[in-house]
Structure 1
Amino acid sequence: MKHLKKAFALAALTMAMNASAQTELTVYTAVEAEDLKTYAKRFNEEHPDIRINWVRDSTGVITARLLAEKENPQADVVWGLAGTSLLLLKNEGMLQPYAPEGLDKLSPKFRDRDETPSWVGMDAWMAALCVNTIEAEKNNLPMPKSWQDLTKPVYQGHVVMPNPNSSGTGFLDVSAWLQLMGEDEGWTFMDGLHQNISRYTHSGSKPCKMAASGEAAIGVSFAFRGARLKEKGAPLELVFPEEGLGWEVEATAIVNGTDKLAAAQTLVDWSISRKAMEMYNEGYAIVGMPGVAQPVAHFPENAEALIIENDFSWAASNREAILTEWASRYDGKSEAK
């Protein structure tokens, strides 16, 4: 019995010593909540000495929080936030430039343009329409093929979309429409779309979830969420509008002022490793390291060919003006926060 007690005591002491030896990183993220355990687990398989404390919310909320904390940063790393948000933070002097190991293996689209980048990309998420085939048939709704189709009177009250002020998916859509159509025609398109919107959500995945459950016929969302719900048996058809798809780089950066720089650099190194890219490819068809991505179920085989030439610098520079204009026109249909 004494030997057993000693063994338990030794095990407890070892666990306590290991815990105390860990460096804890506060990591802000907009990555889908269901994937955070996987991200931390895969990272810890190689770096058990670093513990991740997640702070997770939608893109707009995390971006606003980081900006509010500018004078007193609470995060050490941002792992999984829109590239346009990180460009905004970079312009505020809030990111620590760092050239991670393996930078040369990234596609140029997936890194900050400075020689020593302030952020590096992980994967890309792309716009998609989630159409509930049962609800569409019940309401005699034709399958949309284009963004412009969504302005037709037949869809009135049947479309749900994310609010771009709180959702990165909402912002990538609005930004893409303005780039694709030009600013005047883009706002005219959104005026027409607004007539058919039943509500604007504060989550990019929620419109697709609503479509999957039959709460809405059409959700303007992103392909990752639609593919997962369809794989689970939801009666969804994923539509990739023919004019082209908005998209965003999901990216990683070190917050300027962290006192855990070495651990933060280790995490950023790992975030663009091949192992990490293979992990991202489990849900995303486009990842930052060329030659890694394998086809993902329910995504189009030519995913990269469907995305627009996205001017992230323009989107970041005009973000505040775009969001202010959008809110002044359409916020009346936003759901309560």
Structure 2
Amino acid sequence: MRYRNAAWGWLGSAGRLALLTIFLATPVWAQSKPVMVYGVIHEYTLARLMQMFERDTGMKADFIRQSAGEVATRVLAERQAPKGDVIFGMSRAIQESLKAKGLLEAYKSPRRAEVPNRYVDPEGYWTGSSITVQGFAVNTERWKKEFGNAPMPKTWEDLLDPKYKDLIVTSSPLSSGSAFTFVVGQFFRLGEEKGWEYQKALDKNIRFYTPSGIAPSRMVAQGEFLIAITFAHDVLKWISVGLPIKMIHPPGVSWDIGSVSLIKNGPNPEGGKKFIDWVLGRDPIQLIVDLNFEGSLRSDVSLPLGASPLNKIELVDYKLDWAAQNRDRVLKRWGELFKK
């Protein structure tokens, strides 16, 4: 007891009270348990977010970066003993699928009021954080070398030209949320059966399906392939560092939002809620826009450099409920038809 008094002796009673108040105001979970975030955006962006979170809150956060499909599989596999607290950057359709399986915990963050209603789950299972649109990217140097001054493709149907055989790369919807968004977008553009026929025709020109939705844009930026079907934010990143790649938005493109959710029965639910409240704020979202080139759902955050305004892009009417309800069926059929 004397030792403890000596340690505090240099403080007056007011100072001791102030320190005790700070200590007691810091929850036990904030002092010990880090928040575990399962993220699907770029690893570097996730790392910067974790650093910023610790700086702003004094709390620790760790992350695991995987594709959307891999995160969904992980959360399902861990349902009896969850190891993650938060899912970040996930597409709406997969969030809805996880919600239907009872893997998410409803949490209505105070930040929801800062996001347009169409981009939040009314029940509070997920909240939108960013928006991005799809299209296809072309390596301009390879194009000039192989096709000279010929016009680049402008529509989805243009990609069916036999001259593009083995020159197109995209990701697999079995593991990539980006690819699932593309597949279902063709159904909304053409109708389901015609959408499947389009996928079959396109498959003849696709050399490789990557596990990750991020990979195709990188492979085209580096000249491994001529064309990638991908989200715009993955292409804008390469444009920003001067690589020879161009983004094209044909009529009828899919779009999606990145969103954040709380994993049911995670090890640190209170920490997870604090992370959600924080990451939906202006500064974290601006960081995501600056580093990940996604559009913001907040009105006080600017568009990424080089992004096309949404009013200049013809979007499909993406039906989230249909995509979520039919996800397992669509993936089963896609795997039977196209798994390479």
Normalised by the length of structure 1, the TM-score is 0.87
2:164 corresponds to which of 155, 174, 178: 155
**CA 1:209–1:259 in 2, change beyond 3 Å: closer, same or farther?**
closer
Radius of gyration: which is bigger? 2
Does residue 131 of structure 1 match 2:138? yes
Partner of 2:43: 33
Cα deviations across residues 228-263 of structure 1 (Å, max 9, x unaligned)?
Answer: 101111111111112x22122211111111342221
Q: Using the aligned pairs only, state the percent identity.
A: 25
CA–CA distance in 1 between the matches of 2:30 and 2:228?
A: 46
Does residue 327 of structure 1 match 2:331? no
Does residue 308 of structure 1 match 2:331? no
Partners of 2:84 and 2:267 within 8 A in 1 = no
Partner of 1:13: none
Q: What is the total number of aligned residue pairs between the two structures?
A: 311
Task: Tell which deviates more after alignment, 130-139 or 296-305.
Answer: 296-305
* Residue 20 (structure 1) shift: 8.9
CA–CA distance in 1 between the matches of 2:76 and 2:312?
A: 32
Taking the TM superposition and a 5 Å limit, the aligned residue runs for 1:94-113 are 94-113=103-122
Taking the TM superposition and a 5 Å limit, the aligned residue runs for 1:187-336 are 187-242=196-251, 244-282=252-290, 283-289=292-298, 291-302=299-310, 305-332=313-340
Partners of 2:169 and 2:227 within 8 A in 1 = yes
* Residue 319 (structure 1) shift: 0.6
* Residue 285 (structure 1) shift: 4.6
Cα deviations across residues 31-71 of structure 1 (Å, max 9, x unaligned)?
Answer: 111211211122222211x2111111111111111111122
CA–CA distance in 2 between the matches of 1:271 and 1:278?
A: 10
Amino acid at match of 2:127: V
* Residue 125 (structure 1) shift: 2.5
Normalised by the length of structure 2, the TM-score is 0.86
CA–CA distance in 1 between the matches of 2:178 and 2:104?
A: 23
Partner of 2:77: 68
**CA 1:302–1:119 in 2, change beyond 3 Å: closer, same or farther?**
closer
Segments of 4+ moved more than 6 angstroms: 17-20
CA–CA distance in 1 between the matches of 2:201 and 2:267?
A: 50
SS at match of 1:23: coil
Partners of 1:277 and 1:292 within 8 A in 2 = no
CA–CA distance in 2 between the matches of 1:303 and 1:29?
A: 29
CA–CA distance in 1 between the matches of 2:53 and 2:107?
A: 19
CA–CA distance in 2 between the matches of 1:169 and 1:316?
A: 14
For the aligned residues, what is the CA RMSD? 2.0
CA–CA distance in 1 between the matches of 2:171 and 2:294?
A: 22
